Structure 1
Amino acid sequence: MSKMAQKIGIPIEELSRLKYVADLSGVSMQTLATGVRKLSVNMTDALAKPTSEVAAAFQKLGIELTNADGSMRSSQDVLVQLSDKFAAMPDGAEKTALAMKLLGKSGAEMIPLLNGGSAALSQMMAEADSFGQVFSKEMGANAEAFNDNISRLTGVIGNLAARVATQLLPHMV
Protein backbone atom coordinates (compact mmCIF):
# COMPACT_ATOMS: atom_id res chain seq x y z
CA MET A 1 0.00 0.00 0.00
CA SER A 2 2.83 2.38 0.90
CA LYS A 3 4.71 1.79 -2.35
CA MET A 4 1.50 2.04 -4.37
CA ALA A 5 0.69 5.37 -2.71
CA GLN A 6 4.11 6.66 -3.70
CA LYS A 7 3.70 5.44 -7.28
CA ILE A 8 0.36 7.14 -7.88
CA GLY A 9 0.90 10.23 -5.74
CA ILE A 10 -1.91 9.80 -3.24
CA PRO A 11 -1.27 9.81 0.52
CA ILE A 12 -1.54 6.30 1.97
CA GLU A 13 -4.48 7.27 4.18
CA GLU A 14 -6.51 8.40 1.16
CA LEU A 15 -5.41 5.43 -0.93
CA SER A 16 -6.49 2.97 1.76
CA ARG A 17 -9.89 4.69 1.90
CA LEU A 18 -10.17 4.50 -1.88
CA LYS A 19 -9.15 0.83 -1.77
CA TYR A 20 -12.03 0.15 0.61
CA VAL A 21 -14.43 1.93 -1.76
CA ALA A 22 -12.98 0.04 -4.71
CA ASP A 23 -13.40 -3.30 -2.93
CA LEU A 24 -17.06 -2.53 -2.22
CA SER A 25 -17.52 -1.48 -5.85
CA GLY A 26 -15.96 -4.61 -7.32
CA VAL A 27 -12.89 -2.73 -8.55
CA SER A 28 -9.45 -4.25 -8.00
CA MET A 29 -6.63 -2.33 -6.38
CA GLN A 30 -4.61 -2.63 -9.59
CA THR A 31 -7.47 -1.17 -11.63
CA LEU A 32 -7.84 1.69 -9.15
CA ALA A 33 -4.11 2.43 -9.22
CA THR A 34 -3.93 2.28 -13.01
CA GLY A 35 -6.96 4.54 -13.37
CA VAL A 36 -5.70 7.13 -10.90
CA ARG A 37 -2.24 7.08 -12.49
CA LYS A 38 -3.78 7.67 -15.94
CA LEU A 39 -6.01 10.42 -14.53
CA SER A 40 -2.92 12.20 -13.17
CA VAL A 41 -1.14 11.92 -16.52
CA ASN A 42 -4.22 13.22 -18.34
CA MET A 43 -4.57 16.13 -15.93
CA THR A 44 -0.97 17.13 -16.58
CA ASP A 45 -1.38 16.71 -20.33
CA ALA A 46 -4.61 18.73 -20.36
CA LEU A 47 -2.91 21.59 -18.56
CA ALA A 48 0.08 21.46 -20.91
CA LYS A 49 -2.11 21.20 -24.04
CA PRO A 50 -5.38 23.08 -23.41
CA THR A 51 -6.63 22.31 -26.92
CA SER A 52 -6.16 18.53 -26.65
CA GLU A 53 -8.99 15.97 -26.68
CA VAL A 54 -8.44 15.14 -23.03
CA ALA A 55 -8.55 18.83 -22.07
CA ALA A 56 -11.83 19.10 -23.99
CA ALA A 57 -13.21 16.13 -22.05
CA PHE A 58 -12.40 17.80 -18.72
CA GLN A 59 -13.90 21.07 -19.97
CA LYS A 60 -17.04 19.29 -21.22
CA LEU A 61 -17.59 17.95 -17.72
CA GLY A 62 -16.81 21.32 -16.12
CA ILE A 63 -13.89 19.93 -14.13
CA GLU A 64 -11.27 22.50 -13.16
CA LEU A 65 -7.74 21.11 -12.99
CA THR A 66 -6.20 23.97 -11.03
CA ASN A 67 -6.85 25.47 -7.63
CA ALA A 68 -7.57 29.16 -7.12
CA ASP A 69 -3.84 29.79 -6.59
CA GLY A 70 -3.00 28.20 -9.97
CA SER A 71 -1.57 24.98 -8.55
CA MET A 72 -2.72 21.67 -9.95
CA ARG A 73 -5.55 19.99 -8.04
CA SER A 74 -4.91 16.58 -6.53
CA SER A 75 -6.01 13.56 -8.51
CA GLN A 76 -8.22 12.40 -5.63
CA ASP A 77 -10.06 15.75 -5.62
CA VAL A 78 -10.62 15.49 -9.36
CA LEU A 79 -11.72 11.86 -8.98
CA VAL A 80 -14.33 12.90 -6.41
CA GLN A 81 -15.63 15.66 -8.68
CA LEU A 82 -15.59 13.23 -11.60
CA SER A 83 -17.77 10.85 -9.57
CA ASP A 84 -20.47 13.55 -9.27
CA LYS A 85 -20.41 14.05 -13.04
CA PHE A 86 -20.63 10.30 -13.69
CA ALA A 87 -23.45 9.87 -11.17
CA ALA A 88 -25.51 12.39 -13.15
CA MET A 89 -24.87 10.67 -16.51
CA PRO A 90 -26.90 7.75 -17.82
CA ASP A 91 -24.99 4.50 -18.28
CA GLY A 92 -24.06 3.90 -21.87
CA ALA A 93 -21.46 4.23 -24.55
CA GLU A 94 -20.79 7.94 -23.94
CA LYS A 95 -20.08 7.40 -20.24
CA THR A 96 -17.85 4.42 -20.95
CA ALA A 97 -15.91 6.27 -23.66
CA LEU A 98 -15.47 9.29 -21.39
CA ALA A 99 -14.31 7.11 -18.50
CA MET A 100 -11.74 5.44 -20.73
CA LYS A 101 -10.56 8.77 -22.15
CA LEU A 102 -9.91 10.20 -18.66
CA LEU A 103 -8.93 7.06 -16.73
CA GLY A 104 -7.44 4.89 -19.47
CA LYS A 105 -8.34 1.24 -19.99
CA SER A 106 -9.32 1.03 -16.32
CA GLY A 107 -11.98 3.69 -16.79
CA ALA A 108 -14.78 1.35 -17.82
CA GLU A 109 -14.06 -0.93 -14.85
CA MET A 110 -14.11 2.07 -12.48
CA ILE A 111 -17.62 3.21 -13.44
CA PRO A 112 -19.26 1.33 -10.52
CA LEU A 113 -16.95 3.19 -8.13
CA LEU A 114 -17.83 6.54 -9.70
CA ASN A 115 -21.56 6.04 -10.22
CA GLY A 116 -22.52 6.81 -6.61
CA GLY A 117 -21.13 10.33 -6.72
CA SER A 118 -19.17 12.15 -4.05
CA ALA A 119 -21.79 11.50 -1.35
CA ALA A 120 -21.42 7.73 -1.74
CA LEU A 121 -17.62 8.03 -1.89
CA SER A 122 -17.60 10.11 1.30
CA GLN A 123 -19.89 7.65 3.08
CA MET A 124 -17.79 4.62 2.11
CA MET A 125 -14.56 6.45 3.00
CA ALA A 126 -16.04 7.26 6.43
CA GLU A 127 -16.90 3.55 6.78
CA ALA A 128 -13.27 2.72 6.04
CA ASP A 129 -12.28 4.96 8.95
CA SER A 130 -14.85 3.49 11.32
CA PHE A 131 -13.96 -0.10 10.40
CA GLY A 132 -10.24 0.47 10.90
CA GLN A 133 -9.41 0.03 7.20
CA VAL A 134 -7.23 3.14 6.92
CA PHE A 135 -3.47 2.72 6.89
CA SER A 136 -1.43 5.46 8.52
CA LYS A 137 1.91 6.52 7.10
CA GLU A 138 3.63 4.72 9.99
CA MET A 139 1.67 1.50 9.38
CA GLY A 140 2.56 1.67 5.70
CA ALA A 141 6.25 2.15 6.42
CA ASN A 142 6.24 -0.78 8.87
CA ALA A 143 4.41 -3.05 6.41
CA GLU A 144 6.80 -2.01 3.66
CA ALA A 145 9.82 -2.83 5.85
CA PHE A 146 8.26 -6.19 6.81
CA ASN A 147 7.60 -7.10 3.17
CA ASP A 148 11.13 -6.09 2.21
CA ASN A 149 12.51 -8.34 4.97
CA ILE A 150 10.35 -11.24 3.78
CA SER A 151 11.80 -10.76 0.28
CA ARG A 152 15.31 -10.77 1.71
CA LEU A 153 14.60 -13.91 3.73
CA THR A 154 13.11 -15.65 0.70
CA GLY A 155 16.27 -14.84 -1.27
CA VAL A 156 18.51 -16.22 1.49
CA ILE A 157 16.47 -19.43 1.76
CA GLY A 158 16.54 -19.86 -2.03
CA ASN A 159 20.30 -19.41 -2.05
CA LEU A 160 20.68 -21.93 0.79
CA ALA A 161 18.54 -24.48 -1.06
CA ALA A 162 20.66 -24.02 -4.20
CA ARG A 163 23.86 -24.59 -2.23
CA VAL A 164 22.51 -27.74 -0.60
CA ALA A 165 21.32 -29.04 -3.97
CA THR A 166 24.72 -28.28 -5.50
CA GLN A 167 26.41 -30.33 -2.77
CA LEU A 168 23.95 -33.24 -2.92
CA LEU A 169 23.39 -33.59 -6.65
CA PRO A 170 26.78 -35.18 -7.45
CA HIS A 171 26.08 -37.89 -4.84
CA MET A 172 22.55 -38.45 -6.09
CA VAL A 173 23.63 -38.86 -9.73
Structure 2
Amino acid sequence: MTKINVTVDGVSYHDDVEPRTLLVHYLREQVGKVGTVVGCDTSNCGACTVDLDGLSVKSCTVLAVQADGSEVTTVEGLAGTDGLDPMQQAFHDNHALQCGFCTPGMIMAARDLLRHNPHPSEEEIREGIEGNLCRCTGYQNIVRAVQAAAGAAAGAAAGAGAAS
Protein backbone atom coordinates (compact mmCIF):
# COMPACT_ATOMS: atom_id res chain seq x y z
CA MET A 1 0.00 0.00 0.00
CA THR A 2 1.08 3.54 -0.74
CA LYS A 3 -0.10 6.62 1.14
CA ILE A 4 -1.50 9.43 -1.05
CA ASN A 5 -2.81 12.90 -0.29
CA VAL A 6 -5.29 14.20 -2.85
CA THR A 7 -7.74 17.08 -2.84
CA VAL A 8 -10.96 16.07 -4.56
CA ASP A 9 -13.62 18.70 -5.17
CA GLY A 10 -12.05 20.88 -2.48
CA VAL A 11 -11.81 18.19 0.22
CA SER A 12 -8.48 16.67 1.28
CA TYR A 13 -8.18 12.90 1.37
CA HIS A 14 -5.31 10.91 2.91
CA ASP A 15 -5.59 7.29 1.90
CA ASP A 16 -3.65 4.10 1.42
CA VAL A 17 -3.96 2.69 -2.09
CA GLU A 18 -2.56 -0.24 -4.00
CA PRO A 19 0.07 1.14 -6.41
CA ARG A 20 -1.85 -0.31 -9.38
CA THR A 21 -5.18 1.40 -8.49
CA LEU A 22 -6.50 3.58 -11.27
CA LEU A 23 -7.62 7.09 -10.36
CA VAL A 24 -11.15 6.35 -11.60
CA HIS A 25 -11.45 3.41 -9.19
CA TYR A 26 -9.96 5.43 -6.32
CA LEU A 27 -12.43 8.26 -6.94
CA ARG A 28 -15.42 5.92 -7.10
CA GLU A 29 -14.54 3.29 -4.51
CA GLN A 30 -12.59 5.16 -1.84
CA VAL A 31 -13.77 8.75 -2.21
CA GLY A 32 -17.34 7.95 -3.30
CA LYS A 33 -17.38 10.15 -6.42
CA VAL A 34 -19.53 7.83 -8.50
CA GLY A 35 -20.34 10.59 -11.00
CA THR A 36 -16.98 9.74 -12.54
CA VAL A 37 -18.09 6.86 -14.72
CA VAL A 38 -16.15 3.71 -15.54
CA GLY A 39 -16.79 3.26 -19.22
CA CYS A 40 -14.41 1.25 -21.31
CA ASP A 41 -11.24 1.04 -19.15
CA THR A 42 -9.27 1.57 -22.36
CA SER A 43 -9.39 5.40 -22.61
CA ASN A 44 -11.60 5.26 -25.70
CA CYS A 45 -14.90 6.59 -24.33
CA GLY A 46 -13.93 9.53 -22.10
CA ALA A 47 -16.71 8.85 -19.56
CA CYS A 48 -14.16 9.03 -16.74
CA THR A 49 -12.78 12.47 -17.64
CA VAL A 50 -11.83 14.68 -14.67
CA ASP A 51 -9.63 17.71 -14.11
CA LEU A 52 -6.25 16.90 -12.58
CA ASP A 53 -4.42 20.05 -11.53
CA GLY A 54 -6.41 22.00 -14.09
CA LEU A 55 -5.83 19.59 -16.97
CA SER A 56 -8.49 17.36 -18.43
CA VAL A 57 -7.50 13.69 -18.11
CA LYS A 58 -9.16 10.35 -18.57
CA SER A 59 -8.93 8.98 -15.06
CA CYS A 60 -8.72 5.40 -16.33
CA THR A 61 -5.26 6.25 -17.68
CA VAL A 62 -3.88 7.72 -14.44
CA LEU A 63 -2.79 5.77 -11.40
CA ALA A 64 -4.06 7.08 -8.09
CA VAL A 65 -0.46 7.33 -6.85
CA GLN A 66 0.27 9.70 -9.75
CA ALA A 67 -2.36 12.05 -8.30
CA ASP A 68 -0.56 12.28 -4.96
CA GLY A 69 -0.33 15.94 -3.98
CA SER A 70 -2.76 16.94 -6.73
CA GLU A 71 -6.14 18.58 -6.96
CA VAL A 72 -8.89 16.68 -8.74
CA THR A 73 -12.21 18.15 -9.83
CA THR A 74 -14.99 15.76 -10.75
CA VAL A 75 -18.37 16.54 -12.28
CA GLU A 76 -19.76 16.37 -8.74
CA GLY A 77 -17.54 19.25 -7.68
CA LEU A 78 -18.81 21.67 -10.31
CA ALA A 79 -22.17 22.77 -8.91
CA GLY A 80 -22.08 25.40 -6.21
CA THR A 81 -24.53 26.60 -3.60
CA ASP A 82 -25.97 28.94 -6.23
CA GLY A 83 -26.81 26.13 -8.65
CA LEU A 84 -25.34 24.17 -11.50
CA ASP A 85 -22.08 25.00 -13.22
CA PRO A 86 -22.80 26.90 -16.47
CA MET A 87 -21.81 23.87 -18.57
CA GLN A 88 -24.06 21.59 -16.54
CA GLN A 89 -26.89 24.08 -16.95
CA ALA A 90 -26.26 24.34 -20.70
CA PHE A 91 -26.39 20.54 -21.03
CA HIS A 92 -29.70 20.54 -19.16
CA ASP A 93 -31.19 23.45 -21.08
CA ASN A 94 -30.17 22.08 -24.49
CA HIS A 95 -31.20 18.46 -23.87
CA ALA A 96 -27.61 17.37 -24.41
CA LEU A 97 -28.03 14.10 -22.58
CA GLN A 98 -30.17 11.08 -23.02
CA CYS A 99 -29.01 8.08 -21.06
CA GLY A 100 -26.51 10.27 -19.20
CA PHE A 101 -23.67 7.75 -19.25
CA CYS A 102 -21.25 9.96 -21.19
CA THR A 103 -22.47 13.22 -19.67
CA PRO A 104 -19.99 13.61 -16.77
CA GLY A 105 -16.97 13.10 -19.00
CA MET A 106 -18.49 15.13 -21.81
CA ILE A 107 -19.13 18.08 -19.47
CA MET A 108 -15.59 17.92 -18.10
CA ALA A 109 -14.08 17.77 -21.60
CA ALA A 110 -16.29 20.64 -22.81
CA ARG A 111 -15.27 22.82 -19.86
CA ASP A 112 -11.63 22.12 -20.67
CA LEU A 113 -12.25 23.08 -24.30
CA LEU A 114 -13.71 26.45 -23.27
CA ARG A 115 -10.81 27.06 -20.90
CA HIS A 116 -8.45 26.86 -23.88
CA ASN A 117 -10.78 28.25 -26.55
CA PRO A 118 -13.58 30.41 -25.11
CA HIS A 119 -15.21 31.03 -28.51
CA PRO A 120 -14.98 27.75 -30.46
CA SER A 121 -16.65 27.17 -33.79
CA GLU A 122 -18.90 24.15 -34.26
CA GLU A 123 -16.01 22.31 -35.90
CA GLU A 124 -13.68 23.17 -33.01
CA ILE A 125 -16.26 21.94 -30.50
CA ARG A 126 -16.63 18.66 -32.34
CA GLU A 127 -12.85 18.29 -32.47
CA GLY A 128 -12.52 19.31 -28.81
CA ILE A 129 -14.88 16.60 -27.57
CA GLU A 130 -13.82 13.90 -30.02
CA GLY A 131 -12.21 11.83 -27.25
CA ASN A 132 -15.60 11.41 -25.60
CA LEU A 133 -18.12 9.04 -27.10
CA CYS A 134 -21.89 9.35 -26.94
CA ARG A 135 -24.06 6.60 -28.30
CA CYS A 136 -27.42 8.36 -27.85
CA THR A 137 -27.53 12.00 -28.86
CA GLY A 138 -25.89 12.31 -32.25
CA TYR A 139 -23.84 15.14 -30.71
CA GLN A 140 -25.94 18.01 -32.12
CA ASN A 141 -27.43 18.94 -28.75
CA ILE A 142 -24.06 18.52 -27.08
CA VAL A 143 -22.54 20.98 -29.56
CA ARG A 144 -25.45 23.36 -28.91
CA ALA A 145 -24.88 23.08 -25.17
CA VAL A 146 -21.18 23.92 -25.51
CA GLN A 147 -22.07 26.88 -27.75
CA ALA A 148 -24.62 28.05 -25.16
CA ALA A 149 -22.12 27.75 -22.32
CA ALA A 150 -19.55 29.68 -24.36
CA GLY A 151 -22.16 32.35 -25.06
CA ALA A 152 -23.16 32.54 -21.40
CA ALA A 153 -19.51 32.90 -20.37
CA ALA A 154 -18.99 35.64 -22.95
CA GLY A 155 -22.12 37.43 -21.73
CA ALA A 156 -21.01 37.18 -18.11
CA ALA A 157 -17.56 38.50 -19.01
CA ALA A 158 -19.11 41.41 -20.94
CA GLY A 159 -21.40 42.18 -18.02
CA ALA A 160 -18.48 42.12 -15.59
CA GLY A 161 -16.52 44.45 -17.86
CA ALA A 162 -19.41 46.90 -18.04
CA ALA A 163 -19.78 46.88 -14.26
CA SER A 164 -16.17 47.86 -13.63
The TM-score with structure 2 as length reference comes to 0.31
Q: Which has the larger radius of gyration?
A: 1
Larger relative strand fraction: 2
Higher RCO (Cα < 8 Å, 6 or more apart): 1
